[in-house]
Amino acid sequence: MPCEQSLCVAPVSHVLLVLTSQCWDARLCDAVRDKLLAELPLGALVVDYTDRLGGAEGGRPPRRLALAATVAAPASWNARQALRVFRVEAAAATDAREEEADAALRAKVGAVAAGAQVLNWQARGLADADCAAVARALRSAAARATCELCLGGNAIGDAGLQQLAPALAALPRLRDLEVWGNAFGDEGAMALAAALSEGAMVRGAHMCASANARLGPAGRKALQVACDERRIDLVMD
């Protein structure tokens, strides 16, 4: 749904909307978010090309567009275009769930030390249920200096990597990513490839994605193409 047309429809009866906020200025993005939160029912889904709609609260009682998943889908300009899937949720419920998940993550990996350049979260029992909290941790100010991120030897599957991959863009110095020995397949790999194509990791970086038994030809190809585009050294077996 393009531009100002988004403000001229009544979405109350819809349970799924597909938007294109990459074309909008900040004013329009804020206005559309406010309208959606005021009129969409709880549980409604919004699919968008960017994550600009997430985070802020609106409506009465307060609601939020919570990121439910990130998927890669073909578009005319990009065979691995990332799409964000948001769900309309009560803000209080979202806050409580996020606080609980963040505490569970800290119990596994500890708190992120401000200014730390290495996050070694290897073999910490991380699974899909932890990945939304991992993404929030990576987007925090404390993680901004991260250069090396090790998530190897965990149990991160497709759904988890789809949530986690867009957060890599919040690490402007990331030059080494280890995702070996996890449980993701082609869908997770395509989400990671889409994040790389959009600028995650610095050029000339290193990434290891070996020992992922569920990773098939399509996922391998997507990762290889994205890494070649960004001159990222990719290790796969």
Q: What is the pLDDT of residues 3-31, one digit of tens each?
A: 445 545 454 455 788 888 888 888 898 89
Residue 96 predicted with pLDDT over 90: no
Q: Which tens digits make up the pLDDT trace of 161-211? A: 988 998 998 999 999 999 999 999 999 999 999 899 889 999 999 999 999
Q: Of 34-48, 50-64, 159-173, 213-227, which gets the smallest average pLDDT?
A: 50-64
The whole-number pLDDT of residue 81 equals 79
The answer, yes or no, to whether residue 114 has pLDDT greater than 50, is yes
Cβ atoms of 111 and 141 within 8 Å: the answer is no
Task: Report the pLDDT value the prediction gives residue 12, as an integer from 0 to 100.
Answer: 47
| CATH of the structural domain 111-235, one choice from 3.30.559.10, 3.80.10.10, 3.40.50.1100, 3.30.70.60 | 3.80.10.10
pLDDT at 2: 46
- Which range has the worst mean pLDDT, 4-8, 146-150, 207-211, 221-225? 4-8
Q: What is the mean pLDDT of the chain?
A: 88
pLDDT over 60 (residue 136): yes
pLDDT value, residue 14? 54
More confident residue, 52 or 109: 109
More confident residue, 7 or 155: 155
Res 83: pLDDT: 85
CB 167 within 8 A of CB 198: no
Per-residue pLDDT at 106:
96
The better pLDDT of the pair 114, 57 is held by: 114
* pLDDT of 58 higher than 90: no
